[in-house]
Amino acid sequence: MDISEKERKGLLELAMSSLPTGLFICDRDGIIRFINDAYAHYLHLRPEDALGRPITDFIADSGIPSVIASGEAELGAWRQFPGSETTLLVNRIPLRDERGQVIGALSMTLFDTPEQVKALLRRVEVLDRKVNAYARRIKSVLTANYTVDSILGVSPAIAAFKSYLLRYARTDSPVLILGATGTGKELAASAIHTASRRQDGPFVSINCAAIPKELFESEVFGYVPGAFSGAHKDGKVGQIELADQGTLFLDEVGDLPLHAQVKLLRVLEEKKLSRLGSSQPRAVDFRLVAATNRDLKSMIAAGAFREDLYYRINPMILHLPPLNERVEDIPLLVRDMLNRLGGEGVECTDSALDVLMRYGWPGNIRELRNVITRALSLCQNGRITVADLPPELRHQAVAADSGGTGSRLQSVVHTSEAQTILTALHEQKWNVARTARTLGVSRATLYEKMRKFGIRRSRDF
């Protein structure tokens, strides 16, 4: 049923009068034309006693005259009422006619009582603490944990790798890390991030081989509400968006599904992405680091990897050397692993180190860590011996000797060992005790090896 204009105005006035928060309206001269019960209560009078009188009769320092004069709203102003300790938050808003001329102003309190303000502030404080807690959790998850100093080794191969890594990190171009399984590609990607200008941004790592192909696009690119059956009602932010202003690391990039390769190429070229189910692009700014142990060129020839994406991700290539090309680093790696595994005082005997340095390490550093973990659990009297190593390592060492290559291997081992000792002594300022602890041997053993290899302290120390 239609109602008349008079009835509509009556309902509007009734609604405003019944508001639990205070409200009054003045004309262009600051004369009160409407005031509800709540605001009249703040002023300790009846509404009819205020109508037709200037607001300044009741609130001498009222902000309404200045709002009418300037035509600018005053939002979130604190008001203490005369003769009362009550302080409330108010909004003062100019009223305009159809031509845009100011014809008055209204003032409305945002809360009915000071207790409501205090309750809101308490809720805001609780929410702020929760937001900060979530922010800390997110930051810890999206933070790179390694620097270039985390890449242990003094061998020429690893030294050259770290040198190129630091130079590449200074740029913002994509980097492709090539290396066998277990060589530490994620550690290297993390080091690139922490050495770059994006070090304060997020570091998002995605293992392309670990995400099911049917879920890859929704996980990596995100989706909007209702994008597909079973989608979360609020949608989801993709991992690429999480990397904004930081670094996106795509591990095992060779396992990237073909349909995702097309979309990733578009994102890299346009610096924008569209979530699944959306046509609205979102700007993203990230540095790409990719890694793989696969032959991408062979995959291109087989139609399993896009050639245009390959050339987009490989302007800078880092070849991570396998462990069998840096055997002189094994003593340092073993000592570090023992320390991390709780074996600070455990010593790896020379004969055990000799076997470790003869082995081929197809599983690289990951396999070495597994071997040291096993040996630490089996060793007695704080010493890892050959007997604590897996049979396959011992057998390979014996086979190498019986095959007539023992002398050549021994020469390589001795040269590498001497270089490792000399480097460690320099790093420890020729403090033999600290150097021995670093290398995981006794001082007596270190002195014996120094005599064996003719290592003497330089006059510069």
Domains in the chain with CATH codes: 14-110 (3.30.450.20), 148-321 (3.40.50.300), 324-453 (1.10.8.60)
Residue 177 confidence class, pLDDT cut points 50, 70, 90: very high
pLDDT in tens, 322-336: 999 999 999 999 999
Length of the chain counted residue by residue = 461
**pLDDT per position as a tens digit, 51-63:** 999 999 998 889 9
Nearest Cα to Cα of residue 352 among 300, 401, 388: 388
434: DSSP letter: H
How far apart are alpha carbons 286 and 291 in whole angstroms? Answer: 16
Tell me: pLDDT of 104 over 70: yes
- Alpha carbon 151 to its chain centroid, in Å, reads 20
**Averaged over 125-154, what is the pLDDT?**
68
How far is it, in rounded angstroms, from Cα 412 to Cα 62?
Answer: 90
Residue 49 neighbours by CB under 8 Å, 6+ apart: 40
Supply the pLDDT for residue 391. 87
Could you report the per-residue pLDDT of 201-252, keeping only the tens digit for each?
999 999 998 888 888 888 888 888 877 777 777 788 888 999 999 999 999 9
**Looking at residue 145, what is its pLDDT?**
82
Question: What percent of the chain is predicted at pLDDT more than 70?
Answer: 86
- Span 183-204, mean pLDDT? 93
Tell me how far apart the alpha carbons of residues 388 and 380 are, in angstroms, rounded to a whole number.
9
Q: Where are the alpha helices (DSSP H) in 327-405?
A: 330-340, 350-358, 364-378, 391-400
Q: Is the pTM of this model over 0.85?
A: no
Helices 364-378/330-340 angle, 10° precision: 60
Q: Tell me the pLDDT of the chain averaged across its residues.
A: 84
